[in-house]
Amino acid sequence: MKKQAEGEEEEEEEEPGGEGKRDEEEETEDGGEGGASSAPSSPPPEPKHEERRETKSITEVLAEVVEPPQEFPKNQKKLPNAFNFCERAAMTYNNPFRDMASQTIPLPRGVFCGIVSGWMIYDFYAEDYERQQREKEKEKKPLPGATKGKEPDKKRLEAMMAEAVQMRMFEAAKIIDRMICQNLYDDIAFDYKYYEDPSDEYRQEEGTLLPLWKFCYEKTKKLAVTEMQWNSMYYDLFAVAFGSYDFLKQPSPGAICLFTLKNPSYPEYIRFTDVSILSLSMHHTHSHLIAVGRYDGNIAIYNKNLPDADPQYQSNSVTNKHLGPVWQVRWGDDLQDGEMNVFSISYDGKVNNWVMMQSELVVTTVIVLTLPIEQVPGPDGAMVSITASGTTITFHPLMKNIYMVGTEEGKIFKCSTLYRSKYIFTYEAHTMPIHKLSYNRFCPSIFLSCSSDWTVKIWADMRSSPLFCFDLGCSVADAQWAPYSSSVIAAVSVDGKCHVFDLNVNKYKAICVQNVVSRKGKNRISRMKFNYNMPILIVGDERGTITTLKLSPNLRLKAKPPKKKDIPMDPHELQVLKLEKILSTVLEPEVLESPPDTESLG
């Protein structure tokens, strides 16, 4: 208590002195302001010795309280500020770091279930063990090109030399065979190139077919010629498909052969199959690719340049095939990405498109053919459409997305690859199965059809009635427009005859009917094809023989330009004018309706 009282007394003693000091300072400030306005101020009085001692004592106290700044050692690096410091030379903005997990898409989830038993686990372990054993055996076997030390593999070198010698011998034998054939068939080759029947000068409306070579292979004599096609790059080379039409003896073996007019004794290319080949088509630009349709509903594509006997592509799946024999295949235009594709038609009523991918054939159903009749109730009570059985297909020469389909019921459907649910037009063409359709090369709006009802009919686009109808007296196996004339067509009947019509000469009957196959052995003609470069056609029969026939001059007359026009015209235009003149006598003229009389109405 005494100490507190003493402290209070000391504070009271110091307060008067402090007030006096404050008064002096205020007076000094007032005096300075007044002196500045009236007269120059005198220098301030020197502080007393006691005041200096008090100031030093305060400074010393502050120096003792405030610690001096610490100096960093020279070797230690100063830490940079992490918020605004960058070690790069350019002080650009640094993108903030983000966790990549925040930018990913969540993994898809699914619920699955299965049954696992002891025997299933045992089978999987057994398969894995066998796979490991096979891999070990492969590792133990030496590589084909490996040799022991520096000693060469003599057996391998001998095999390579023997193979090279065999190839050279094969080429030499082929050349010798062609030389022998040239000497043997020299007169036929001369007739093929230069002979013209002089008797045509005395027959104005008749022509003949000159037999040339006969192509036959010993191993395909018992097979029927099911399809033929000329090569688009080599006009003397054609492909033939062999199979059997006797469906009670199926499966029957088949074959594919390539023949050339230079060597009628032996085919240039041979491939045998375990199933009958019923259709064939060679690619229009890549002529080494051959697409075939098989009896079991599959299709295969062979590469002539490969030595392997197996097809390069084949559809051998249960789901990716037709349910019936493939009656016709046709190559389509390449897709936008460059893939080649094939169209096929079968008895199951489907038109499939097969796309050649890198290692497989991808199939797409273009359309399912249905008959335009009322639906019938199915097994479960639902209404079901009746499916039509397709037999032939052909594409428009100019509009590649338009195609025609012939059916076993005798109907022709005009379809488009862009519209898969409806037909563009339906023709009530025949009363029996249609065997072939063919467009006119010069006027694509005109086409023909042949059928088992003994008739060949010529149609105009989008007209329900035929323009011409020819009765051949028996089933017509094949028919085609001539590639050199717009008015000439050829057809073959199963009785062994070949019929040639020229609408510009005679619109009612054929100008040439000639027996090609003898009927003694119950042999029948199955296919025929025109050559696109030479005035010849080939005819195939059911005994595996192909006969070459040359058309006489009366069967290939050139179109004459009209007399009134002196301007030279293109041969294609002349053929179009010739056909239009013929059709003008058959087509109904357009009826022009006069406009209504407005004056009388008023």
Helices 186-194 and 154-184: crossing angle in degrees, nearest 10, is: 60
Selected residue with higher pLDDT from 82 and 401: 401
Residue 1, pLDDT score: 40
Mapping DSSP onto H, E and C, the string for 153-177 reads CHHHHHHHHHHHHHHHHHHHHHHHH
Query: Which DSSP string corresponds to 317-336?
Result: -SSSS-SS-EEEEEEPPP-T
Model confidence at 21, pLDDT cuts 50, 70, 90, reads very low
Task: Rank 17-31, 506-520, 538-552, 579-593 by mean pLDDT and report only the highest.
Answer: 538-552
Examine the pLDDT at 50 and tell me if it is beyond 90.
no
Taking the alpha carbons at both ends of the chain, their separation in whole angstroms is 139
What is the C-alpha to C-alpha distance for residues 32 and 357, in angstroms, rounded to an integer? 107
Residue 246, pLDDT score: 82
Examine the pLDDT at 583 and tell me if it is beyond 80.
yes
pLDDT over 90 percentage in the chain: 32
Dig out the tokens for 78 from the structure. 């100063």
Task: Work out the angle at residue 416's Cα, subtended by the Cα atoms of residues 414 and 419, and round it to the nearest 5 degrees.
Answer: 120
Span 176-180, average pLDDT: 86
Query: Do the Cβ atoms of 229 and 529 come closer than 8 Å?
Result: yes
Q: Is residue 30 a part of any domain in this protein?
A: no
Where does 462-521 have alpha helices with state H? none
Query: Do the Cβ atoms of 479 and 469 come closer than 8 Å?
Result: no
CATH classification at residue 475: 2.130.10.10
Residue 92, pLDDT score: 66
Q: Is residue 2 a part of any domain in this protein?
A: no
Residue 497, pLDDT score: 92
Span 2-6, average pLDDT: 45
Query: Which DSSP string corresponds to 387-434?
Result: BP-EEEEEE-SS-TTEEEEEETTSEEEEEETTBSSS-SEEEE--SS-E
Amino acid at 352: N
Answer positive or negative: Cα dihedral of 231, 261, 490, 477: negative
Nearest alpha-carbon partner for 354 in 318, 322, 394: 322
Residue 178, pLDDT score: 83
Span 362-369, average pLDDT: 90
Query: Which DSSP string corresponds to 234-284?
Result: -TTEEEEEEE---GGG-S--EEEEEEETTBTTS-SEEEEESS-EEEEEE-S
Selected residue with higher pLDDT from 538 and 161: 538
Dig out the tokens for 23 from the structure. 């008064």
Q: Is residue 165 a part of any domain in this protein?
A: no
Supply the range of the domain harboring residue 339.
203-377+389-561+569-580
pLDDT over 70 percentage in the chain: 78
Examine the pLDDT at 334 and tell me if it is beyond 50.
yes
Query: Do the Cβ atoms of 188 and 213 come closer than 8 Å?
Result: yes
How do residues 256-283 score in pLDDT, each as one tens digit? 999 998 888 889 889 999 899 999 999 9
Residue 105, pLDDT score: 76
Q: What mean pLDDT is reported for the chain?
A: 80
How do residues 465-483 score in pLDDT, each as one tens digit? 999 999 998 999 999 999 9
Residue 228, pLDDT score: 94
Q: Which long-range contacts (CB under 8 A, 24 or more apart) does 264-273 make?
A: 264/181, 264/185, 264/213, 264/214, 264/215, 265/177, 265/181, 266/177, 266/217, 267/215, 267/217, 268/237, 269/304, 270/217, 271/302, 271/309, 272/219, 272/309, 273/300
Span 64-82, average pLDDT: 58
Span 289-316, average pLDDT: 89
Q: 189: buried, middle or exposed (CB in 10 Å: 19+, 13-18, 0-12)? A: middle
Q: Is residue 166 a part of any domain in this protein?
A: no
Residue 378, pLDDT score: 75
Name 32's Cβ contacts closer than 8 Å, sequence gap at least 6: 41
Model confidence at 38, pLDDT cuts 50, 70, 90, reads very low
Model confidence at 446, pLDDT cuts 50, 70, 90, reads very high
Amino acid at 180: I
Query: Do the Cβ atoms of 414 and 398 come closer than 8 Å?
Result: no
Per the listing, tokens 């993994």 go with 107
Task: Rank 100-104, 178-182, 205-209 by mean pLDDT and report only the highest.
Answer: 205-209
Query: Do the Cβ atoms of 459 and 414 come closer than 8 Å?
Result: no
Lowest-pLDDT range of 26-40, 390-404, 477-491, 539-553: 26-40
Model confidence at 560, pLDDT cuts 50, 70, 90, reads confident
Examine the pLDDT at 324 and tell me if it is beyond 80.
yes
Lowest-pLDDT range of 120-124, 201-205, 552-556, 581-585: 201-205
Residue 103, pLDDT score: 63
Residue 4, pLDDT score: 46
Nearest alpha-carbon partner for 428 in 378, 482, 386, 371: 371
Residue 256, pLDDT score: 94
Residue 393, pLDDT score: 93
Cα dihedral value 317, 323, 325, 328, nearest 10: -80
Look at the chain and report how many structural domains it folds into: 1
Q: Is residue 373 a part of any domain in this protein?
A: yes
The most distant pair of C-alpha atoms in the chain lies apart, rounded to whole Å, by 169
Q: Is residue 188 a part of any domain in this protein?
A: no
Q: Is residue 437 a part of any domain in this protein?
A: yes
Q: Is residue 601 a part of any domain in this protein?
A: no
Residue 56, pLDDT score: 52
Residue 249, pLDDT score: 78
Selected residue with higher pLDDT from 61 and 27: 61
Q: Is 38 helix (H, G, I), strand (E, B) or coil?
A: helix
Model confidence at 290, pLDDT cuts 50, 70, 90, reads very high
Residue 154, pLDDT score: 73
Amino acid at 58: I
Residue 15, pLDDT score: 46
Query: Which DSSP string corresponds to 198-215?
Result: GGGGS-SS---EEEEEEE
Q: How far is CA 199 from CA 66, 187, 196, 320, 554, in A?
A: 139, 19, 9, 56, 10
Examine the pLDDT at 8 and tell me if it is beyond 60.
no
Per the listing, tokens 């077919």 go with 209
How do residues 95-128 score in pLDDT, each as one tens digit? 777 665 666 677 888 887 878 888 889 888 999 9
Model confidence at 18, pLDDT cuts 50, 70, 90, reads very low
The H or E element containing residue 569 is: none
What is the C-alpha to C-alpha distance for residues 495 and 472, in angstroms, rounded to an integer? 10
Residue 353, pLDDT score: 92
Selected residue with higher pLDDT from 337 and 73: 337
What is the C-alpha to C-alpha distance for residues 330 and 438, in angstroms, rounded to an integer? 13
